[in-house]
Amino acid sequence: MDALITFISENLLMIYILVFAIFLGTEVISKVPTVLHTPLMSGANAISGVVIIGAIILIRQADPTNYFILILGFLGIALASINVVGGYAVTDRMLDMFKNKKKKK
């Protein structure tokens, strides 16, 4: 119980942000047309690659001789980069098709 209270008091600001972000995310997406579900899912997926920052911080703080952390962190960065870069590229490819047509019309 004490642990819980300490955690809440130490992270109060983060908890505020968390709650507001949940409402914000819900509001931002609430009325999206079916046509865009796939690109939106893909674009949001790319944003979830933001976890790469965690891997970067982790590696930057690691001891240069601690290969266990370095290798896991390296893997984390590589995998998350695939998610981020691939995700944005794929979304762009999908959306590109919608755009082209507009020009021709």
Partner 1 sequence: MTTSVYDFLYLISIILFIIGLKRLSSPDTARNGNLVAAGGMGLAIIISLVYPLGVEQNNYGWVAGGIVLGSVVGITAAKKVQMTAMPEMVSLFNGLGGACALLVSLVEFYNYPEGVSLLNGQIFTTLFALFIGSISFTGSLVAYGKLQGFLRDSLTVPYPRIVNALLLVAVIGLIIYIMIMPTADFNWALILMAVSLIYGITFVTPIGGGDMPVVISLLNSFTGIGAALAGLIYNNQVMLVGGILVGASGTILTILMCQAMNRSLFNVIIGGFSSSGGPAGEGREQIVKEVSPSDLAIELKYSSKVMVVPGYGMAVAQAQHTVHELESMLEEEGVDFKYAIHPVAGRMPGHMNVLLAEADVPYPKLLELEEANKELTTTDVVLVIGANDVVNPAAKDDPSSPIHGMPILEVEKAKSVIVLKRSMSTGYAGIQNQLFFGEKTRMLFGDAKASINKLKEEVDQA
Collapsing DSSP to helix, strand or coil, 53 comes out as helix
Alpha-carbon distance of 9 to 1, in angstroms, equals 12
CB of 7 to partner 1, least distance (A): 3
Residues 12-41 that bind partner 1 (CB under 8 A): 14, 17-18, 21-26, 28-41
In whole angstroms, how far apart are CA 13 and each of 6, 16, 20, 21, 30? 13, 5, 11, 12, 26
* Residue 43-72 contact track with partner 1, rule CB under 8 A, x = bound: xxxxxxxxxxxxxxxxxxxxxx---xxx-x
Residues 72-101 that bind partner 1 (CB under 8 A): 72-101
- If binding means CB under 8 A, how many residues of this protein chain bind partner 1? 89
